[in-house]
Structure 1
Amino acid sequence: MESLAQSFDSSVDLAAADGDDLPLMLPGRPPARYDFPKAWRHFKELIKDKENTAEVFPIFEALPWRGVYDAALAFLKTDRGQQIRKSEPSLVTLLDDHAALRKLPAGSLAHVYCDFMEREGLSAQGLVDELDKYRPADQYFNDQVDWYFRRMRDTHDLLHVLTGFGRDALGEQCVLAFTYGQQPALAHLFLGYAGAFEISKRNKVKVPIFRAVREAQKLGTTCPRLVEMPIRELLAMQYEDARRHLGITDPSYYREAHAKWRAAGIDPYDLLAPQQMAA
């Protein structure tokens, strides 16, 4: 596995890793506290316009992962954490270099990831640009904890690929629930189940919507935190080997839901504006 991972041209990333003088955690970071009224206020606005992503960021601010600083510091204080930080200073740089990823063997996680991102018209930098629109200026900290936070953001699409949950409505809720198992911010759980409830209200076919979301949550709990894994090594592994390595099994209820919708002539990727599938 190591020899495959070394086939990356990592000179840019390793050069960027020279910032060994970065402090572990700068003072002044906001405390991770719950603000339920704020979360509910922004959620009501999100319900009015589900495309208004500006309402999502405040929900995560209001329903954070309260143990995130402890988790980040615990990882960063280990030799393994520092080794990964120095070898992978920027996942955006790594994940958006499809030319380098394509040099890895066919069937590897890298190829499956590139196929997914190119098919969906996505990029790791695109997600950064979208989220940065809503990130307050006072939440930028040049420290090692910020590196950890960036990895939580930059592994989102990789989670889609590894779990098998698509970008359909149910798939997105399942990824949120899976992420809660990895990074237990109440916002992930709240939005995941709220989205599942919205799907169920419009659903005319009996499918295991909530079971799919719950299954995703359990899968996220049993999988080691992806943010703390060496992504280079995972990308070099064969896709199914990478999933087995992480303990990720096929999402049976999600697959069952899709099968039942398609059997009823419903496109799972158009659930919130249901139309009959073309013959």
Structure 2
Amino acid sequence: MFAADGTVLRHPDRPEPRYRPLRAVRNFQALMKDKEDTSLVFKIFESLPSGSFMTRARDLCLSERGEMLRKTEPALPEILDDHAALRRTPKGSLAHAYCDFMEAEGLTAAGLVAEAERLGRAKFPDLLQWFMERSRDTHDLFHVLTGYGRDALGEQCVLLFTHGQSPSQGHLLIGYAGAANIKKMVKDSNAPVIGAVREAHRTGKGAPSLMAQPIREILAQPIDDVRKALRIPQPQLYLECHCIWREEGIDPYDLLASPQLADEQELLAA
């Protein structure tokens, strides 16, 4: 199958994905020990290929919308990292919110690309390459649109929101197992951790595909209008978790520093 410009959907030299659940579990265990090693996330997804991936890729890439997006937005990082241009959009736009988020977190779209390329995977001149890269490059936009932060729970919520958009066992493994790990870390808390990730999962299922949207266009629109159009409500249970944790003296962005965990560490040391 080919696009109108002759680009093949799947290059004949592209390796067939291999389902390797044990490798995924090992990498997940490593990720729990070093949550900043983003390359482990890519390895988990690589080990748990989605059965619906080819169908979703074909449906977008070979559609009129896909043809338009490839022509107008062949690569998202150069758009997303041009903050000077994004800041020229009206105040209150998705672009301003995105720049605020990325600058506050010290992130760049190019940095996410670099993390993925650390794996050394071969690239191929096919439509799948564009599709996979576009999926990767919209990750931080999910954070901004959903309101989920880069705290431990926020990351699990974004992964399960993403599963609702692009089903993959990798999203389910990291999202739900990660949430269970958070629940274990703050076991005496009343925060609805599992409810929060389930809410994120439902929202992702109900929202139109973000990667199928004209990103440059929606960046210029008021963020509230974009959220309404994409059916992304405020994350009530996630915010409730943060509120409860703070009342319990737990920092949502540093769960390991919670008083109860500190007491457990003292008991272990004794």
TM exceeding 0.5: yes
Q: Distance in 2 between matches of 1:134 and 1:30?
A: 15
Output one character per residue of 1:209-266: Cα deviation in whole Å (capped at 9) or x when no partner.
0000000011111111111111112111101000001000011100100011112222
- Structure 2 matches for 1:54-65, cutoff 5 A? 54-65=39-50
Question: Aligned-pair distance for 1:24?
Answer: 2.9
Partner in structure 1 of residue 75 of structure 2: 90
Mapping for residues 39-58 of structure 1, pairs under 5 Å: 39-58=24-43
Structure 1 Cα separation of the partners of residues 107 and 62 of structure 2: 33
- With over 3 angstroms needed to count, the CA separation of the structure-2 counterparts of 1:197 and 1:133, relative to structure 1, is same
Matched, 1:156 2:139: yes
Residues 177 and 242 (structure 1 numbering): CA distance in 2 closer, same or farther, change over 3 Å?
same
Q: Which of 115, 129, 141 is the matching residue for 2:124? A: 141
Indicate which of 202, 217, 223 corresponds to 2:207.
223
Aligned partner of 1:73 in structure 2 is: 58
Q: What is the aligned length?
A: 256
Contact 1:110-1:235 at 8 Å conserved across structures: yes
Q: 1:264 aligned to 2:248? A: yes
Q: What aligned pairs does 1:157-176 form with structure 2 within 5 A after superposition?
A: 157-176=140-159
Give the C-alpha shift of residue 77 in structure 1.
Answer: 1.4
Is the CA contact 1:222–1:247 (under 8 Å) kept in the aligned structure 2?
A: yes
Name the aligned partner's letter for residue 199 of structure 1.
I
Select between 40-49 and 84-93 the one with higher mean Cα deviation.
40-49
Give the aligned residue type for 1:268. Answer: P
Report the alpha carbon displacement of residue 135 of structure 1 after superposing the two structures with TM: 3.9
Letter in 2 for 1:251: P
What is the identity percentage for the equivalent residue pairs of Structure 1 and Structure 2?
Answer: 53
What is the match of residue 268 of structure 2?
A: none
RMSD of aligned Cα (Å): 1.8
Q: Which consecutive residues of structure 1, in runs of 5 or more, have no partner in the other structure?
A: 1-18
TM-score normalised to structure 1 length: 0.86
Contact 2:249 2:258 in 1 (8 A): no
The answer for the alignment partner of 2:16 in structure 1 is 31
Match of 2:170 among 166, 187, 191: 187
Task: Answer yes or no: is the 8 Å Cα contact 2:65–2:212 preserved in 1.
Answer: no
Unaligned runs of 5+ residues in structure 2 are 261-270
Quick check: 1:124 aligned with 2:99?
no
SS in 2 for 1:141: coil
The answer to whether the 8 Å contact 2:7/2:126 transfers is: yes
Query: What SS does structure 2 have at the residue aligned with 1:111?
Result: helix
- Measure the CA separation in 2 of the matches of 1:86 and 1:124: 20
Q: TM-score, normalised by structure 2?
A: 0.89
Matched, 1:210 2:185: no
Which residue identity lines up with residue 196 of structure 1 in the other structure?
Answer: A
